[in-house]
Amino acid sequence: MTGAGETPPVDVLFEGAPCGLVVTTETGMIVKVNQTFCKWLGYAPEDLAQCRFQELLTMGGRIFHQTHWAPLMRMQGSVAEVKLEVRHRAGHVITMLLNGVRRQYAHGVFHELALFGTIERDRYERELLTARRRAEQLLAQTTEAEAALQQAKAELADAYQSAQRRAAFAEQMVAIASHDLKNPLTAIKMATQLLERGEHRDKERRLLGSISHSSERARRMIADLLDFASVRIGQGITIRRQPIDLCSTVDQSVNELRVAFAQARIRHLCKGKGQLALDPDRVQQMIGNLVANSVAYGDLAHPVTITTDLHEHGAVVSVHNHGPCIPDTLLTSLFAPMTRGTDRADAVRSVGLGLFIVSEITLAHGGDISVATDAALGTTFTIRLPLLAA
């Protein structure tokens, strides 16, 4: 033991150093070895006395000693951080780092070696290597994923452009076909009207009425399709304003609708008088679509009521029907194209464009449309049209 402030003897420092200390002759014969090195290898100091240091190395370590660090010791007098594999007395291998110097004394040349265990360092290096390999794998996967994503984006863009082209072509075809169908339908309608003027048996009259109603339904469908195609290609709904008596225009439309929908009771209530600058054909188209919608989805045991209210700021036109209310899930998209209130088939509805066309015509006139629906009170579509100079 040493007192406070006293320096430990050199032998104590040598034996208890935190590294292996070995002194050999120039040929490798061990002259002195400390306890730390002996414990690491499982030997007693006397077991290593007069043992050559090379004999403690593996075959690869001996070759490396002979070809690398022993010549360096002779040439430059030192080596640093030489990694060696030293064999334990039990047979397993311990990896160590060697630092050594060659010193000349009066009684000969000696190699003074300091050896350090590398267990923790090797573990750290393995962890670093594993982490690096994992990082490289992740980088490769990320690069591959990014390349696949870019390819998918390119393919999606191509598919989108192709779909856009097909959709535009389809819309153009619909517009062309709808336009071309107007003439033969007009001829059918006129021929039916001429035939209806003569005297016919009941069966013939029913057939002529069926032809007339079917051609009128086809005419409305074609008109809706043409308007839809016009909106889709960016032209919008065209209107031609002129001063009109709104009540008279709606009355005229109602009279025609009573013929087209003979199974329904249609009535018109008018409040106020005056003229508005509107497109009469478009007004009749709006009324026709809303009445067709009411006939399709309303309760025909009750009348379909059209109310026209003219006031100093414009006009309000409403179409009311009794029957089941519109589901909440449909209200947000009710005026979108291709939207229908039910999946059932019927003889009066078109392709789900009626309310969309009404909304577009209303907007083209600078107005707005809304709907109120209730199981007890029924459903009312309300169009508000602003007053413009006639």
Count of other CB atoms within 10 angstroms of residue 38: 19
pLDDT of residue 49: 83
**pLDDT for position 233:** 59
Q: H or E element: which one contains 30?
A: strand 30-33
**Strand (E) positions, 188-335?**
242-245, 266-271, 275-278, 304-311, 314-321
pLDDT of 322: 92
Sign of CA dihedral 73, 74, 76, 77: positive
| Superfamily designation of domain 10-123 | PAS domain (3.30.450.20)
327-376: pLDDT as tens digits: 888 888 888 876 655 544 454 445 577 888 888 889 989 999 999 998 88
In the predicted model, residues of the chain with pLDDT beneath 70 are: 1-7, 166-200, 204-205, 208-210, 212-214, 216-217, 220-222, 224-236, 338-351, 388-390
pLDDT computed for residue 341 by the predictor: 55
Residues 6 or more apart whose Cβ sits within 8 Å of residue 218? 181, 185
Of the chain, the percentage scoring pLDDT greater than 70 comes to: 77
Q: What is the pLDDT of residue 213?
A: 65
pLDDT at 29: 93
Residue 345's pLDDT is 46
Whether 387 contacts 276, CB under 8 Å: yes
* Contact between residue 239 and residue 364 where contact means Cβ atoms under 8 Å apart: yes
> Would you tell me which CATH number, out of the four given (3.30.565.10, 3.20.20.140, 1.10.10.10, 3.20.110.10), belongs to the domain 238-386?
3.30.565.10
Count the neighbouring beta carbons within 10 Å of the beta carbon of residue 54: 16
Q: Where are the beta strands (DSSP E) in 58-191?
A: 78-87, 93-105, 108-117
> Which pLDDT score, from 0 to 100, does residue 16 have?
86
For the chain, give every domain's residue range: 10-123, 174-236, 238-386
